[in-house]
């Protein structure tokens, strides 16, 4: 298999993925974007967007009135809120950062906000959610999240912490609850997601940067200082360097 980035291609050259100026792809792997959408604000849909859209559909969360929790308000999380709201769900953002409350409720349109380290708030929300989309990238306890689920509720892990998480089994048995994972989606579903996003005006919140800003962007990423995705303007950066 030849991966999109940093892999040796058949002719010995290295694959540059999204950093390439041109790319040849089989038509089966081409997505059609509706004319009127902003490509820079839609580019993250091809990763973060489909990663949240696919489990929302597959696990039955994409239904009017379902109560869905979104854990971690970052690149994946902010799109999970937008898609879940567009599906008609009631959305609660579950976050470690109180500073994101206003953003979650006023700007993204979440119905409620749960500060995950506030035991009283967590206790009050026990057994209220049909499903939870967990986007946290670091190790974290999942028992409090399992407790937020109703009977038959599903916790879907999308984040990829380096260390294994602890899985408490008894609370799963008693409520016939499910802990699952999901990664991206197939071509057909990506096209469906792009069309759905265009219809509902869903784009990612992005900051467009030139290539020479990448090192600063990496430093800011490490501090969580981005709302919510950097998009590198490869076309204009390359155009500026051409003789
Ligand atoms: N399954 C897939 O196919 C797939 C696809 C793309 C990405 N991913 C993975 O999904 C995860 C999230 O990606 P992302 O781009 O959304 O990341 P991100 O923008 O950094 O968002 C992650 C969020 O998790 C929360 N968080 C809580 N505790 C944290 C901690 N100790 N360290 C860091 N974050 C913490 C933060 O939200 P609060 O401040 O709200 O708590 C943070 O904004 C990553 O692990 C990524 O590799 C998986």
Instruction: Band the pLDDT of 1: cuts 50, 70, 90.
Output: confident
> Residue 148: enclosing H or E segment and its boundaries?
helix 143-148
Instruction: Band the pLDDT of 240: cuts 50, 70, 90.
Output: confident
What is the mean pLDDT of the segment spanning 117-121? 95
Q: Is 74 in the pocket of ligand 1 (CB under 6 A)?
A: yes
Assess if residue 71 is contained within a domain. Answer: yes
Assess if residue 204 is contained within a domain. Answer: no
Assess if residue 14 is contained within a domain. Answer: no
Confidence (pLDDT) at 238: 77
Count up the domains in the chain and report the number.
1
**CB of 133 closer than 8 Å to CB of 59:** no
Q: Is 156 in the pocket of ligand 1 (CB under 6 A)?
A: no
- Whole-model pTM: value is 0.94
Confidence (pLDDT) at 22: 81
Range of the domain at 88: 45-181
**CB of 180 closer than 8 Å to CB of 156:** yes
What is the mean pLDDT of the segment spanning 25-48? 93
Assess if residue 151 is contained within a domain. Answer: yes
What is the mean pLDDT of the segment spanning 98-121? 96
Ligand 1: which of 70, 73, 92, 137 to mutate, judged by most atoms within 8 Å of the beta carbon? 137
Spatial CA neighbour of 133 closest among 68, 63, 87:
68
Specify the CATH number for the domain of residue 63.
3.40.50.720
Instruction: Band the pLDDT of 56: cuts 50, 70, 90.
Output: very high
- Cα(109) to ligand 1 centroid in Å equals 20
What is the mean pLDDT of the segment spanning 153-171? 94
Q: pLDDT at residue 234 above 90?
A: no
Assess if residue 125 is contained within a domain. Answer: yes
Q: Which atom of ligand 1 is nearest to the CA of 158?
A: 1
Instruction: Band the pLDDT of 21: cuts 50, 70, 90.
Output: confident
CA atoms of 94 and 107, how far apart (whole Å): 16
């Amino acid at each position: 298999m030849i991966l999109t980035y940093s892999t040796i291609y058949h002719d010995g050259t290295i694959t540059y993925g999204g950093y390439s100026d041109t790319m040849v792809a089989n038509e089966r792997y081409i997505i059609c974007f509706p004319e009127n959408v902003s490509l820079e604000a839609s580019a993250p849909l091809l990763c973060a967007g489909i990663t949240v859209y696919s489990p929302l559909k597959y696990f039955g969360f994409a239904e009017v009135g379902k109560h869905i929790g979104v854990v971690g308000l970052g690149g994946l999380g902010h799109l999970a809120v937008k898609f879940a709201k567009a599906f008609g769900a009631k959305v609660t953002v579950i976050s470690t950062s109180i500073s994101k409350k206003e953003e979650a409720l006023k700007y993204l349109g979440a119905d409620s906000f749960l500060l995950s380290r506030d035991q009283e708030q967590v206790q009050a929300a026990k057994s209220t959610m049909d499903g939870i989309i967990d986007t946290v990238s670091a190790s974290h306890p999942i028992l409090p999240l399992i407790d937020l689920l109703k009977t038959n509720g599903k916790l879907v892990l999308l984040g990829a912490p380096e260390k294994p998480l602890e899985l408490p089994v008894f609370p799963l048995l008693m409520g016939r609850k499910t802990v699952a994972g999901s990664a991206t989606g197939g071509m057909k579903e990506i096209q469906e997601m792009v069309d759905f996003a265009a219809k509902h005006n869903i784009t990612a919140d992005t900051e467009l940067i030139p290539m020479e800003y990448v090192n600063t962007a990496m430093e800011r990423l490490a501090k969580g200082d981005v709302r919510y995705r950097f998009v590198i303007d490869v076309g204009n950066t390359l155009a500026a360097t051409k003789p």
